[in-house]
Amino acid sequence: MNLLIKSATIVDPNSPFNQQVADILIKDGTIAEVAKDIKADVEVFEAQGKQVSPGFFDLNCNIGELGLETKEDLKTGTAAAAAGGFTGVALMPNTQPPVHSKAEVEYLFNRAKNYLVDVFPLGTLSQKREGKDLAEMYDMHQSGAKAFTDGTRPVQDSGLMERALLYTKGFDGTVISYPEDAAIAGKAKVNEGEMSTLLGMKGIPSLAEELMIARDLYLAEYTDSKIHFTTISTARSVELIREAKNKGLKVTCDVAAHHLVLTDEALAGFDSLYKVKPPLRTRKDVDALLAGLKDGTIDAIVSQHTPHEIEFKDVEFEVAEFGIIGLQTAFSLALQAGLDVTLIIEKLAINPRKILEINVPVIAAGKQANLVVFNIQGEWGYTKENNLSKSSNSPYIGQNLKGQVLLTCNNNQVYQSNIK
């Protein structure tokens, strides 16, 4: 794949050309030259007034393969990822069977090796995601699993979490915690507050998340281990993690893009497309999440891409499944939240790879061409026709969004948007 990207503004803190306007010549999937005015007999992509950065990386992506391919398979999932500017995704092990042994890890690596988007399976923390016995984490680590989590099933057993932290410390692994105390959350569907009272629905209190974060921080401190919290959503959660970082704990965390722009007021119409977990919170929580991103408390932004067949979402709110698809909208939502593009690149492209200890792409001569070209001013309409996911459970389908991904390049392959 040979391509010349003309006159793009480079947004890459690790590049010697950061914040400069330059041409980027790509030959056979490698950046051959970065300079002011390159002449070459190859396909030209005009990027004047546009930006280019390392490709995005998603730390929390659900793709149905294995076993749930009717929701999403690797082909459609990676196509949606490329359209959203992602060149790498970490797959949650919420599959049937779960990714709880090296067999599943190796299968997914082999299935995904020819795609534009790099796929990194995450292994389960417990066998069958049942929260009882540790999974074969070292074997999965040897096969390439970068971190371990039970995905959307929070680990309720404190002893199991302690053992997992101790065990992964032996090979410098990372435990990813989805923080929720199930006994407190119960079977509630929305955030506990004024809106839940107005809707007449039992709410999930912020305490359910914060109590589990406090527990896992104590355990991480006690074991001197690394821990990553995924999709935090409350103001107090941000405070707890900020305090832990100030104490020197090995803690990182991320936030879902939709939690940066939506509050529980979106639920006024009982639209199940807005039913997510953790639930949409209050304006105070959203403001705290944005402040946490800006001061470095929150390390990354994730899509929390969660596809579902129509029969699981186009039903009454109470029985609908949690989750929305987010790979094609995460970048636009980060811009909608008012974040600076330099900060977005840090949270969407740089830090996620650092957390998993994956090589961070750099826009410089001699490096692999792993990049995305986008227009932060460009508007695009998200429609059922240009939605590349197999599922369509997004409240943003039918809306115009700001921040258009124009071109995604990785593994000697290129995706070019034709969305107007």
* Nearest in space to 157 (alpha carbons), one of 181, 188, 174: 181
> What pLDDT digit, counting tens, does each position of 227-263 carry?
999 999 999 999 999 999 999 999 999 999 999 999 9
pLDDT attached to residue 419? 75
> What pLDDT digit, counting tens, does each position of 377-414 carry?
999 999 999 999 999 999 999 999 999 999 999 999 99
**Do 70 and 309 contact (CB within 8 A), yes or no?**
yes
Cis-peptide into 352, omega within 30 deg: no
Average pLDDT over every residue of 184-209 = 95
Residues 352 and 368 in one domain: no
Average pLDDT over every residue of 362-373 = 97
Residues 202 and 295 in one domain: yes
Print the domain residue range for 337: 55-356
- Which domain-ending residue is among 340, 356, 372? 356
pTM for the full predicted model: 0.96
Residues 35 and 71 in one domain: no
Q: How many domains does the chain have?
A: 2
Residues 195 and 289 in one domain: yes
Handedness of CA 252, 135, 360, 87 (dihedral sign): negative
Residues 275 and 312 in one domain: yes
* Nearest in space to 38 (alpha carbons), one of 372, 362, 365: 365
**Pairwise CA distance, residues 192 & 201, whole Å:** 9
* Nearest in space to 153 (alpha carbons), one of 176, 119, 120, 121: 176
Residues 343 and 371 in one domain: no
**Average pLDDT for the chain:** 96
Specify the CATH number for the domain of residue 307.
Answer: 3.20.20.140
> What pLDDT digit, counting tens, does each position of 260-295 carry?
999 999 999 999 999 999 999 999 999 999 999 999
**Do 331 and 374 contact (CB within 8 A), yes or no?**
yes
Residues 45 and 91 in one domain: no
Residues 73 and 48 in one domain: no
Q: Say yes or no to pLDDT of 106 above 80.
A: yes
Specify the CATH number for the domain of residue 407.
Answer: 2.30.40.10
> What pLDDT digit, counting tens, does each position of 134-161 carry?
999 999 999 999 999 999 999 999 999 9
Residue with the two structure tokens 């997914």:
108
Buried b (16+ CB within 10 A) or exposed e, 128-148: ebebeebbbbbebbebebbbb
Q: Say yes or no to pLDDT of 420 above 80.
A: no
Residues 83 and 141 in one domain: yes
